[in-house]
Amino acid sequence: MELLNVTITHEKILELSPREGVLVADQNQDLIKVAVFDRHGDSGRIALGFLKGFGARVGAVGTTVNLDENSLLIVGSNDGDMALCANLLIEMGGGMAVVDQGVVLEKIGFPVGGIFSLEPWRVVGTGLRRIHRCLRERGSPHPKPIYPICFLTFVTLPSLRITDRGLVRVKDRRVVPLFVEG
């Protein structure tokens, strides 16, 4: 998935070379990993993909607030940071977090269903502004950088999206493979 703007993606096919048998993120190409987990955990589904155009040079960003799905969604360039971010969000009962080099830079907990906070709206707003500022300071070109992440699961917008079922080509309304032959 390549971000064209905050809400719109398109499908981009890239040739990637594995390192030690594993495909890795490449911050020099602004290419990060994406993982979406089944919200209810019943199926054990985890979908994986790549995202180009996010811009922030950070180990991981995670959220449980995303359109239509509200699933645990983690993007990042470092598997360890992605795992730390995911575990932090699970422990908090949901929310948003930014992790880099094993350090939690920012977080907001949404313990009510993973989508609501019990804090006053001003506290939540301040936390959200800190997350946006943190991501902009690390290179994101987006004014509100968490929003493109929140829209990745919204399968009614063009063109390629991701849910816990996999990558979804919106025009065809079908799940497509991460890898293509050829």
Write down the pLDDT at residue 147: 97
* 47, 134 Cβ separation under 8 angstroms: no
Write down the pLDDT at residue 5: 96
Write down the pLDDT at residue 137: 98
Q: What is the average pLDDT across 135-141?
A: 97
Q: What is the pTM of this model?
A: 0.96
Helix, strand, coil percentages in the chain from 3-state DSSP, rounded to 5: 20, 30, 45
| Ordered DSSP codes for 13-52 | ------BTTB---BGGGTEEEEEEE-SSSSS--EEEEEEE
**Does residue 182 register a pLDDT over 90?**
no
Nearest to 86 by CA among 115, 60, 68, 105: 60
Q: Starting from the edge strand earliest in sequence, which strands make up the sheet with 72-76, in order?
A: 9-10, 2-3, 46-52, 31-37, 72-76, 60-63, 95-100, 103-109
Q: What is the average pLDDT across 92-119?
A: 97
